[in-house]
C-alpha cells in the first residue's frame, strides 16, 4: 500500500516523521525486507540526501544498526548520482561521517564499501578525530589495516580532485558525442555510415602507404654490428614526423571505429555482431601495420601506449553515456502523474 502511494506521488518518500526520519531512514534501521529499500530508491532516489534532526542520513543509520545489506543497496544507488561524495561524507551533529561510525563499531566490510565509494578517511569530526583515530581508540586491528593504506592527505586529496575532474569532462564529452544518436533517422544513419566508412578506409590506407614510402633493399650491418638507420620496409620519415602524422591518424581511426559501432545498434543482432567482429579485426590489422612501418622501436612503443589510452578513453565514454542514459530512463519511469479528482 505504501508503495502505491509513493508511485502516485514520489515526494511522499521525503516526508519526515518523528525525529526527522523519512521512510528510507526507518527501512535503513529495520532492514531491507521484501526489497522495500530497492523500490523506494527506484521511485525516489533523491530521498537518499535527506537527514534526521541529528543530521544523519541513511548511511549513518545503516552503519549504526549494522545493516550491511542496506548499506550495499545504498552505495549501489549513490554511485549512479553526481552527488555521491556529498552523501557518503555527510557529517552528523557531532561531525561524524558514516566512515567514523563504521570504524567505531569495527565493521570492516562496511569500511571497504564506504572507502570504495570515495569516503574521505581524512575527514575530522568535532573532536578532531579521523576514522583512523577512532579505529585506533577502539583497538580495531582489522579496521586499522583497512584504513591505513596510502594515508598521505595531500596526495589523496589531489588524486580525488583529479579523478573527479577526469570523470566530469569524460562524461560531458561522451554526452556531446553520443547524444540523441538513437534518434537518428534511417536515411541519416546510412549517410553517416558511408562518411565514417570512407574515413576508416582513408586512415587505414595511411598505414599501407605512408607519406614518402618505405626504405627499400635488405638489412645491412654497420662495422659496429648495429643495423643501419635506413631499415628496409620502415617509413622514410624521421621519428618526430612519423608521430606528428600517425597520432592524429590513430585518433581519427579509433573515434570513427566507435562511432560506427554506435550507429550499428538498430541493425539485427547477428548482422551487427558479425560487423563488430570484422571491425575489431580491421582495427588489429591497422595497429599492426603501423607497428611494422614505425622507424624505431621507441616510435612504435609511443604509438602503442597512445592508442591504448585513446581506446580505453573511448570505452569509458561509451560506458559513462550508457550509465547516464539508464539513470535518466529510471528517473523518467519514476515520475508518475497522480490522478486529479474533479
pLDDT > 90 in the chain, percent? 18
pLDDT > 70 in the chain, percent? 73
Rounded CA separation 22/19 (Å): 9
CA dihedral 93, 99, 101, 103 (to 10 degrees): -140
Of 31 and 326, more confident: 31
pTM: 0.45
Distances (CA, A) of 41 to 30, 36, 52, 264: 16, 9, 17, 34
pLDDT digits (tens, 9 = 90+) for 65-103: 999 989 999 998 888 888 888 999 999 999 999 999 999
Q: How confident is the model at residue 179 (pLDDT cuts 50, 70, 90)?
A: low
Q: Which CATH superfamily hosts domain 2-151?
A: Ankyrin repeat-containing domain (1.25.40.20)
Are the beta carbons of 239 and 293 closer than 8 angstroms? no
Please tell me the predicted confidence (pLDDT) of residue 273: 85
Q: How confident is the model at residue 5 (pLDDT cuts 50, 70, 90)?
A: very low
Which alpha helices (DSSP H) does 1-130 contain, by range?
2-8, 23-30, 36-43, 58-64, 68-78, 84-88, 98-104, 108-116
pLDDT digits (tens, 9 = 90+) for 240-266: 888 888 888 888 888 888 888 878 878
Q: How confident is the model at residue 47 (pLDDT cuts 50, 70, 90)?
A: confident
Are the beta carbons of 99 and 121 closer than 8 angstroms? yes
Q: How confident is the model at residue 118 (pLDDT cuts 50, 70, 90)?
A: confident
Does residue 45 carry a pLDDT above 70?
Answer: yes
- What grid cell was written down for 78? 549513490
- Ranges of each domain in the chain: 2-151, 171-219+229-334
Of 327 and 306, more confident: 306
Rounded CA separation 140/327 (Å): 38
Which alpha helices (DSSP H) does 117-216 contain, by range?
131-137, 141-148, 153-178, 186-208
Of 50 and 154, more confident: 50
Three-class SS of 98-111: HHHHHHHCCCHHHH
Please tell me the predicted confidence (pLDDT) of residue 240: 86
Amino acid at each position: 500500500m505504501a508503495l502505491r502511494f509513493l508511485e502516485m506521488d514520489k515526494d511522499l518518500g521525503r516526508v519526515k516523521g518523528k525525529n526527522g526520519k523519512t521512510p528510507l531512514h526507518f527501512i535503513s534501521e529495520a532492514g531491507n525486507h521484501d526489497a522495500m529499500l530497492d523500490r523506494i530508491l527506484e521511485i525516489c532516489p533523491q530521498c537518499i540526501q535527506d537527514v534526521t534532526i541529528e543530521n544523519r542520513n541513511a548511511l549513518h543509520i545503516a552503519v549504526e544498526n549494522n545493516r550491511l545489506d542496506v548499506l550495499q543497496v545504498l552505495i549501489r544507488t549513490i554511485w549512479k548520482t553526481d552527488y555521491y561524495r556529498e552523501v557518503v561524507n555527510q557529517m552528523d551533529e557531532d561531525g561524524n561521517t558514516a566512515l567514523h561510525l563504521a570504524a567505531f563499531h569495527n565493521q570492516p566490510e562496511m569500511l571497504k564499501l564506504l572507502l570504495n565509494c570515495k569516503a574521505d578517511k581524512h575527514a575530522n569530526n568535532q573532536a578532531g578525530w579521523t576514522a583512523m583515530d577512532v579505529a585506533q581508540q577502539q583497538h580495531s586491528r582489522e579496521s586499522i589495516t583497512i584504513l591505513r593504506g596510502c594515508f598521505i592527505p595531500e596526495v589523496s586529496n589531489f588524486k580525488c580532485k583529479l579523478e573527479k575532474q577526469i570523470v566530469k569532462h569524460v562524461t560531458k564529452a561522451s554526452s556531446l558525442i553520443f547524444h540523441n544518436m538513437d534518434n537518428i533517422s534511417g536515411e541519416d544513419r546510412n549517410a553517416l555510415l558511408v562518411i565514417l566508412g570512407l574515413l576508416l578506409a582513408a586512415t587505414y590506407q595511411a598505414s599501407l602507404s605512408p607519406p614518402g614510402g618505405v626504405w627499400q633493399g635488405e638489412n645491412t650491418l654497420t662495422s659496429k654490428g648495429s643495423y643501419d638507420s635506413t631499415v628496409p620496409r620502415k617509413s622514410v620519415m624521421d621519428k618526430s614526423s612519423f608521430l606528428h602524422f600517425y597520432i592524429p591518424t590513430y585518433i581519427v581511426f579509433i573515434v570513427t571505429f566507435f562511432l560506427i559501432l554506435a550507429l550499428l545498434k538498430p541493425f539485427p543482432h547477428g548482422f551487427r555482431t558479425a560487423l563488430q567482429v570484422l571491425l575489431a579485426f580491421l582495427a588489429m590489422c591497422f595497429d599492426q601495420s603501423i607497428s611494422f612501418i614505425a622507424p624505431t622501436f621507441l616510435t612504435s612503443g609511443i604509438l602503442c601506449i597512445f592508442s591504448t589510452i585513446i581506446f580505453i578513453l573511448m570505452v569509458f565514454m561509451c560506458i559513462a553515456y550508457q550509465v547516464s542514459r539508464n539513470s535518466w530512463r529510471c528517473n523518467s519511469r519514476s515520475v508518475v502523474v497522480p490522478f486529479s479528482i474533479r
